């Protein structure tokens, strides 16, 4: 049977680990505690109304991994589930992928998202051997845009009214990074000290 659990340590406080069905109550609690905060920029919050919805999401992420289309992980900070980060379906033909993420408000201020995204960018280029990583972000979400720019991504353009957010459309910036650009920017320091097995190509 395929091992559905990926564990990517970042430091002593922070680890990325695949979500399993037993994590559904903790995941739903985190969403429920942060509804107002998350709803400002994420369109799926109102659809998460029960632990069962979180369980279905986790099963969907497991199927994504089994189908060799990437993976999502829980972001675990000092033993607590703090958020989720992951790949949207990998485009193997064009060797590209998009990264998405969210974090509970109570876990802000520790550089968690920056470190988690850096880990997934490394993994995309070094383990999956992809050529391009993309991140999209609402133009008004200044904090999230700052994270992406801190990682060195290039703002490549803006798509007007690209996402419907409950009762209005928002414009999205498109940020991109190629493998060559990432390696040139990061050098040897761009890779974390340990890259555990778990990637599939």
User: What's the average model confidence in pLDDT over 173-193?
Assistant: 80
Residue ranges and CATH numbers for the domains of the chain are 7-190 (3.40.630.30)
d(CA 132, CA 115): 19
Cβ-based neighbours of 15, under 8 Å, separated by 6 or more: 7, 8, 9, 76
This prediction's pTM: 0.89
The proportion of the chain whose per-residue pLDDT surpasses 90, expressed as a percent, equals 89
Judge whether 158 and 173 are in contact, CB under 8 Å: yes
Strand ordering across the sheet containing 154-165? 7-9, 14-17, 72-77, 80-87, 96-103, 132-138, 168-178, 154-165
SS3 189: helix
Q: What is the pLDDT of residues 130-148, one digit of tens each?
A: 999 999 999 999 999 999 9
Q: What is the pLDDT of residues 55-79, one digit of tens each?
A: 999 999 999 999 999 999 999 999 9
Q: What is the pLDDT of residues 188-198, one digit of tens each?
A: 454 444 444 44
């Amino acid at each position: 049977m395929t091992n559905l659990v990926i564990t990517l340590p970042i430091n002593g406080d922070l680890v990325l680990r695949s979500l399993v069905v037993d994590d559904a109550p903790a995941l739903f609690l985190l969403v429920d505690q942060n509804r107002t905060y998350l709803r400002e920029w994420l369109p799926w919050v109102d659809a998460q109304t029960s632990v069962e919805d979180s369980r279905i999401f986790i099963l969907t992420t497991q199927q994504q991994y089994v189908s060799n289309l990437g993976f999502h992980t829980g972001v675990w900070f000092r033993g607590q589930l703090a958020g989720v980060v992951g790949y949207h379906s990998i485009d193997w033909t064009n060797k590209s992928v998009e990264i998405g993420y969210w974090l509970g408000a109570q876990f802000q201020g520790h550089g968690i998202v920056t470190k988690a995204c850096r880990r997934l960018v490394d993994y995309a280029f070094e383990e999956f051997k992809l050529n391009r990583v993309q991140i999209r972000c609402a133009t008004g979400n200044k904090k999230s845009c700052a994270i992406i720019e801190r990682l060195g991504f290039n703002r490549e353009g803006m798509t007007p009214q690209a996402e419907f957010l409950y009762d209005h459309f928002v414009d999205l910036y498109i940020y991109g990074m190629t493998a060559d650009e990432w390696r040139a920017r990061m050098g040897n320091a761009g890779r974390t000290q340990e890259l555990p097995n778990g990637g599939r190509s």
